[in-house]
Amino acid sequence: TPNLKIENLRVSIEDKEIIKGLNLEINGGEIHAIMGPNGTGKSTLSSALMGHPKYEVTEGNVTFDGKDLFEMEVDERAKAGLFLAMQYPSEVSGITNADFLRSAINARREEGQEISLMKFIRELDKKMELLEMDSSFAHRYLNEGFSGGEKKRNEILQLMMIEPKIAILDEIDSGLDIDALKVVAKGVNEMRNPEFGCLIITHYQRLLNYITPDKVHVMMQGRIVKSGGPELAQRLEAEGYDWIKEELGIED
């Protein structure tokens, strides 16, 4: 089953250490959530895992299905089945959503095993219906002129079509109204299976009302400082982060 293992990870941006010794393991079949105050390094973690050049890994090990992640080229990581939903998805002119999805699916397949056009269209229709997306979406240029909510929905469509082994969803819930939030949650819940593991990074607990995580981790000052079950997210919603700071003797 899929496995992403992060050990003692340290990441710096422009010589400033942001991630300060982080440990986390995600297996197929599991949904984890990382919550934490703003500026604590949550997005830095996902950018570092995806190989953003600005983020320097100074220490630690990350393996994806047993292979050293940082030895893999960035496109190899995606090809091997790691999916990262960016906090700010980029616009791409001249490539339609459907073209992008089909080439992303085929990039993960051996030559000669490409998805047939018929099957692709069937799957796309089915998933767009589940995500309550208008069929015109398929033929629009990737993210161009999409509203914030449409981009998020589109990321979940990408997730469902590409079927990665491990997905990291950074603030997939930010700026969504309650209906869009439910649709995003429906998509993630639909993905739940033993061959898929997911890390949801969020500032707010509300998405976790619709996706029940197996494990919740609190990140502060570049580390995971506390882990628990879904009840931990509920306590954070009710009481904020101060009680954890007090418990651990952390100062701002």
Number of residues in contact with ligand ADP, rule: CB under 6 A? Answer: 12
CB-closest chain residue to Mg ion: 43
Site string for Mg ion, 27-66 (x = CB under 5 A): -----------x---xx-----------------------
221 contacts 20 by C-beta, under 8 angstroms: yes
Amino acid at 203: H
Q: Which is nearer to ligand ADP, 114 or 237 (CB)?
A: 237
Q: Which is nearer to Mg ion, 38 or 90 (CB)?
A: 38
Q: Site for ligand ADP (CB under 6 A): which residue of 10, 24, 44, 97? A: 44
β-pairing verdict for 215-220 and 31-35: parallel
Q: Select from Mg ion, ligand ADP, none the partner in contact with residue 18, using the beta carbon and a kind-dependent cut-off of 5 to 8 Å.
A: ligand ADP
Q: Select from Mg ion, ligand ADP, none the partner in contact with residue 2, using the beta carbon and a kind-dependent cut-off of 5 to 8 Å.
A: none
Q: Could you tell me the smallest distance in angstroms from the CB atom of residue 152 to Mg ion?
A: 14
Q: Site for ligand ADP (CB under 6 A): which residue of 22, 30, 41, 217? A: 41
Q: Select from Mg ion, ligand ADP, none the partner in contact with residue 46, using the beta carbon and a kind-dependent cut-off of 5 to 8 Å.
A: none
- DSSP character string of 32-92: EEEE--TTSSHHHHHHHHHT-TTEEEEEEEEEETTEEGGGS-HHHHHHHTEEEE-SSPPP-
Q: Could you tell me the smallest distance in angstroms from the CB atom of residue 87 to Mg ion?
A: 6
Q: Residue 27 in 3-state DSSP?
A: strand
Q: Could you tell me the smallest distance in angstroms from the CB atom of residue 223 to Mg ion?
A: 16
Measured distance CA(36)–CA(241) in Å, rounded: 8
Amino acid at 73: E
For Cα atoms 44, 45, 48, give the angle at the middle one, nearest 5 degrees: 80
Residue 40 binds ligand ADP (CB under 6 A): yes
Question: Which burial class, exposed, middle or buried, applies to 94 when counting CB atoms under 10 A from its CB (0-12, 13-18, 19+)?
Answer: exposed
Q: Select from Mg ion, ligand ADP, none the partner in contact with residue 202, using the beta carbon and a kind-dependent cut-off of 5 to 8 Å.
A: none
Q: Which is nearest to 131 in space by CA: 89, 88, 183?
A: 183
Q: Which is nearer to Mg ion, 18 or 166 (CB)?
A: 18
The window from 39-47, 92-100, 128-136, 189-197 that contacts ligand ADP (CB under 6 A) reads: 39-47
CA distances to 80, 136, 144, 195 from 167, rounded to whole Å, are: 12, 26, 23, 11
Q: Site for ligand ADP (CB under 6 A): which residue of 10, 32, 42, 77? A: 42
Interface residues toward ligand ADP, by CB under 6 A: 13-14, 18, 36, 38-44, 54
